């Protein structure tokens, strides 16, 4: 885990004993996410396309390289290591519909960044990990956080019929078409 307050965000990834310069612009990683979700591409095509986010093409595409690329995409180094029991419990969770999408929530992301940070994402220059930090720090009253809260609400725990139906209607209106989970994305790159 890095401390984003004083450690610089990476400009490279390392795999197979080689350091690769990587594209860090946040917009490019939205394209990366869209590429991963593209059902018209095969897993092999996605692997070949994924290395285009490296500034210099590798001599060989290895599992370690793809793992390093995915770790950069997920900004793994910004997160504390989860305890083993958390990882085990997470693998047993049933598949849930997605609660957020860069593609389907794009206009709300743009609005929230302008409202809360004064940042125009259409012209901003920003590292992917800086974007991830700011995204995670959006307050509860941001549109993005509200959409996540509505999508993730467990309606089975809402006792009031009128409120349950209201939440269900909101969930229906803002539902995200199926997109892959992180585990499904990782499975694509298993070599």
* Alpha-carbon span 35 to 38, nearest angstrom: 5
50 near 66, Cβ under 8 Å? yes
Alpha helices in 6-127 (DSSP H): 26-37, 43-50, 63-74, 84-92, 106-112
* Alpha-carbon span 170 to 176, nearest angstrom: 12
98 near 105, Cβ under 8 Å? no
* 3's tokens: 């401390």
| Percent of the chain topping pLDDT 70 | 85
pLDDT, tens only, 145-164: 999 999 999 999 999 999 99
Instruction: Provide mean pLDDT across the span 25-45.
Output: 94
If you average pLDDT over every residue of the chain, what do you get? 89
Find all residues with CB under 8 Å of 9, minimum gap 6, and list them: 24, 127, 128, 129, 130
Instruction: Provide mean pLDDT across the span 25-36.
Output: 95
pLDDT, tens only, 57-114: 999 999 999 999 999 999 999 998 765 654 544 455 556 678 999 999 999 999 999 9
Find all residues with CB under 8 Å of 45, minimum gap 6, and list them: none
List, as one string, the DSSP characters of 88-116: HHHHHSPP---S--TTTTHHHHHHHIIII
pLDDT, tens only, 168-183: 999 999 998 865 555 6
């Amino acid at each position: 885990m890095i401390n984003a307050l004083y450690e610089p965000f990476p400009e490279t990834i390392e795999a197979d004993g080689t350091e690769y310069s990587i594209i860090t612009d946040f917009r490019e990683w939205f394209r990366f996410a869209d590429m991963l979700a593209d059902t018209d591409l095969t897993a092999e095509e996605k692997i070949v396309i994924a290395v285009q986010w490296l500034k210099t093409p590798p001599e060989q595409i290895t599992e370690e390289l793809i793992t390093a690329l995915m770790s950069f995409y997920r900004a793994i180094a910004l997160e504390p290591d989860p305890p083993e029991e958390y990882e085990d419990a997470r693998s047993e969770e049933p598949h849930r519909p997605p609660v957020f999408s860069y593609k389907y929530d794009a206009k709300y992301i743009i609005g929230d960044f302008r409202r809360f940070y004064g940042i125009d994402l259409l012209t901003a220059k920003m590292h992917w990990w800086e974007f991830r930090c700011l995204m995670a720090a959006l307050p509860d009253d941001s549109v993005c956080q509200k959409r996540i809260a509505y999508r993730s609400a467990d309606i089975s725990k809402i006792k009031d019929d009128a409120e349950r139906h209201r939440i269900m209607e909101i969930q229906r209106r803002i539902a995200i078409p199926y997109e892959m989970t992180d585990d499904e994305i990782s499975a694509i790159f298993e070599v």
